[in-house]
Chains A and B, each alone.
Chain A
Amino acid sequence: MYTQTEIIKDTTVNGSEGELVINVGPQHPATHGVLHLVITLNGETIKKIEPHLGYIHRSIEKMCESLSYRQFIYVTSRMDYLSSHINNLGSAHCVEKGMQIEIPARAKVIRVLMSELTRIASHELWLGAMAMDLGAFTPFFYAFREREMINDIMEETCGARLTMNYMVPGGVMYDIHPDFQQKVKAFVKQFKEKVTEYDDLVTNNIIFQNRMKGVGILSKEDAVSYGCTGPVARGSGVSCDIRKIFPYEIYDTVAFDEVLETAGDSFARYMVRVREMHQSIRIIEQLIDNIPEGEYQAKTKAVLKLPKGEFYSRVETARGEFGVYIVSEGATTPYRIKFRSPGFSNLSALEHMAKGSKLGDLMATMGTLDLVIPDIDR
C-alpha cells in the first residue's frame, strides 16, 4: 500500500518536476484496442511517448508452425482483421510461390477485386474512427453505411463478414456469387454519390483542417528510417506501393495511380487514404465487367508440402506492406513463420511525430496512423 507522499515522489508514476505522466490505454477510447501509451506531458505538451505492447499477444507465428499450409491461412485474418482478405492473400501467395502453383486467371481477378473492396472497407472504417478521435461522431455512421454494403457483398460470396478465409492456396474457395457483379456495381454507384458527404462533413470542415494540417509531421527521411509503409509513408512522399513496385496477381495490367502526398502531416495521410479509395474504385470498375471465365481454383494436392527452403512474399494491405516469411524443412507444417506487419513499424514513428505537440494532436496523429492493435501485437 502506497502512501500519498510515496506516490507523489515516484517519478515513474508522476514524472519528475514539472512533468505529468499519464497512461493512455490499455483501456482508452482513442487507442482502438489495447494499446498502452505512457505519455510524459509538460502541461498539455507531449515530451515523451512510450508504447507498451503485449496485451493482445496470441503468439500467432508460433501457432502457425503447428498448422498445415492450408490451415494457417485462416489465422492471418485474426491479425489485421480489417484487411483480412489481403492478409490471407499474402499467406496463400507465399505457399503458392513455394509450391509453384499457377493460379487461374479468374481467381486472380477475383482476388484483386476482393482485395480492393477490403481496402475500401478498411479505409471507410478508418475514416469514421478517425473523425471520432477528433470528436465528430456522425461521419462514423455514414462511413459504416457504405462499409456495410461491402460487408454484405463479402457475406454473400465468402460466407463471413470480417474473417473471410476466402483465399486458399491455388485460388479462391468458392466461385463468386451470381449477384456479386450487380451488387458491386450498386456499391460503386452509391460510394460515388455519398463520397461528397465526407468532403462536406470532414475534409473541407475548417475545424478538421485546423486539427490536421501541420500536425504530426513525418519527413521523407524519417519515414524511410522508421520503416513506415503504406499510406503513412506515402503521405510523406515515399513511393512504396507494393502493387506498383512488386506487382502481384494482375496489378501490373490494371491502370491505377500510386497516391503520393508530400506534406507529411496528418492531413496528407488523410488525403492519401481518401484518394486511395477512389483509386480502388477505379480498379474495381475496370475489372468488374471483365472477370474471365474459367476455373476459380487450381488443382492442388490434398496435402501441401513446401520444398525445403525459405520463401517470402509481400502484399499491400490497407495499412502498408504485409510480408510472409516461411522457412520450410520439407514437412507438411512450416518450420518457422514470420509476419512483417505494417502497423508495428508505423507505430514506432509515433513518438517522433507527436513529440512537442499538444495532447489533442496525439489523437489526430494516432488516428491517421490507422493502428490495428492485433496486427501490431500478433
Chain B
Amino acid sequence: MFLKEYISDVYNGVTSLLKGMRKTGYYFFHPKEIITQQYPENRATLNLPERFRGEVVMTHDEHNEHACTGCTACELACPNGTIKIITKFDVTPEGKKKKAIDTFIYHLELCTMCNLCIVACPTDAIKMAQNFEHSVFDRNKLTKKLNLPGSKIREGVE
C-alpha cells in the first residue's frame, strides 16, 4: 500500500512537471507567439489611441488662432498647479477693452495627466496630445508656453 502511494506520488509529480515543460517548450518552438514590440524602430507604425494622455497642447488653426478666452477654468481645475494663465487686455476695434491671454504656461513636470483641465475648458481650447517622449536634459524645457507667438483668439469664441 505504501509502495503504491509512493509510486503514484512520483508519477503524478513527474507528469505535472512534464505538462509545464510542454507548455514552455511550445512557446520556445513557436517564435510567432512573441509579443515584444521593438519600440524605437516601430515609431512610424506606433498607433496610440486618440484619448491617450501624453501632454496638454493648445490647438491652433491655420490662421494661428486658438479658442482660449483666458477664463482660468483649467487653472482652477488643476490639482497640481500645473497651469498658469497670464491675461492681458486687448482693445477691440470698437474701442472696448477685452480680456485675452498673454501667456498660457504649462508645467509638464508637475502634470499628472488627470485630464481635469480638458474637461473643465468651456471652449475646448486645450486637448491632450499623444506625444509621450518627454525626456529632456534641462528641467526648464519642461515648462512650456502653449499659445504660439502672435496667435490670437478665434472670432466668435466667447
Residues of A participating in the B interface, judged by any CB pair closer than 8 Å: 67, 70-72, 74-75, 138, 145, 148, 155-160, 163, 165, 168, 173-174, 177, 197, 200-201, 204-207
Given contacts A70-B77, A71-B77, contact A160 B53 (CB under 8 A): yes
Closest-by-CB residue of A relative to B14 is A206
* Chain A proximity of B5: nearest CB distance (Å): 15
Contact B17 A160 (CB under 8 A): no
A163 CA to B77 CA, complexed, in Å: 18
Given contacts A70-B77, A155-B49, A207-B17, contact A200 B23 (CB under 8 A): yes
B91 is an interface residue with CB less than 8 A from chain A = no
Residues of B within 8 A of A165 (CB): 114-116
Residues of A within 8 A of B116 (CB): 70-71, 74, 165
Contact A173 B16 (CB under 8 A): no
Closest-by-CB residue of B relative to A63 is B79
Of the candidates B24, B48, B77, B114, the one whose C-beta lies within 8 Å of that of A138 is B24
Of the candidates B13, B23, B51, B77, the one whose C-beta lies within 8 Å of that of A174 is B51
Residues of B within 8 A of A174 (CB): 51
Contact B79 A71 (CB under 8 A): yes
Q: B24-35 toward A: CB 8 Å interface, digit per residue (1/0)?
A: 100000000001
Residues of A within 8 A of B12 (CB): 206
Residues of A within 8 A of B78 (CB): 71
Top-9 shortest CB links A-B: A71-B79, A159-B51, A206-B13, A74-B114, A156-B49, A159-B53, A165-B114, A206-B16, A200-B19
Contact A67 B35 (CB under 8 A): no
Query: 20 A-B contacts, Cβ less than 8 Å apart?
Result: A74-B116, A75-B79, A138-B24, A155-B49, A156-B49, A156-B51, A157-B51, A158-B51, A159-B51, A159-B52, A160-B52, A165-B116, A168-B119, A173-B119, A177-B49, A200-B19, A201-B24, A204-B19, A206-B13, A207-B17
A240 CA to B78 CA, complexed, in Å: 37
Residues of B within 8 A of A71 (CB): 77-79, 116
Q: Which of A70, A72, A159 is most buried by chain B, counting CB atoms within 10 A of its CB?
A: A159
B113 is an interface residue with CB less than 8 A from chain A = yes
Q: Which B residues between 42 and 97 are near A, CB-CB below 8 angstroms?
A: 48-49, 51-53, 77-79
B151 is an interface residue with CB less than 8 A from chain A = no
* Chain B proximity of A191: nearest CB distance (Å): 15
- Please give the number of chain B residues whose Cβ is less than 8 angstroms from any Cβ of chain A in the complex: 25
B22 is an interface residue with CB less than 8 A from chain A = yes
Contact A200 B20 (CB under 8 A): yes
Given contacts A67-B79, A159-B128, A160-B53, contact A173 B115 (CB under 8 A): yes
Contact B114 A155 (CB under 8 A): no
B123 is an interface residue with CB less than 8 A from chain A = no
Contact B52 A205 (CB under 8 A): no
Residues of B within 8 A of A75 (CB): 79
Contact A206 B17 (CB under 8 A): yes
A165 CA to B51 CA, complexed, in Å: 13
Known: A71-B78, A75-B79, A159-B113. 6 other contacts (CB 8 A): A159-B51, A174-B51, A177-B51, A204-B16, A204-B19, A207-B17
Residues of A within 8 A of B35 (CB): 145, 148
B8 is an interface residue with CB less than 8 A from chain A = no
A155 CA to B46 CA, complexed, in Å: 14
B143 is an interface residue with CB less than 8 A from chain A = no
Of the candidates B20, B52, B79, B115, the one whose C-beta lies within 8 Å of that of A201 is B20
* Chain A proximity of B26: nearest CB distance (Å): 9
B112 is an interface residue with CB less than 8 A from chain A = yes
A158 CA to B52 CA, complexed, in Å: 8
Contact A72 B53 (CB under 8 A): no
Residues of B within 8 A of A177 (CB): 49, 51
Residues of B within 8 A of A72 (CB): 79
A135 CA to B48 CA, complexed, in Å: 35
A25 CA to B104 CA, complexed, in Å: 44
A204 CA to B78 CA, complexed, in Å: 50
Contact A159 B49 (CB under 8 A): yes
Contact B20 A74 (CB under 8 A): no
A157 CA to B113 CA, complexed, in Å: 15
Residues of A within 8 A of B77 (CB): 70-71
Residues of B within 8 A of A200 (CB): 19-20, 22-23
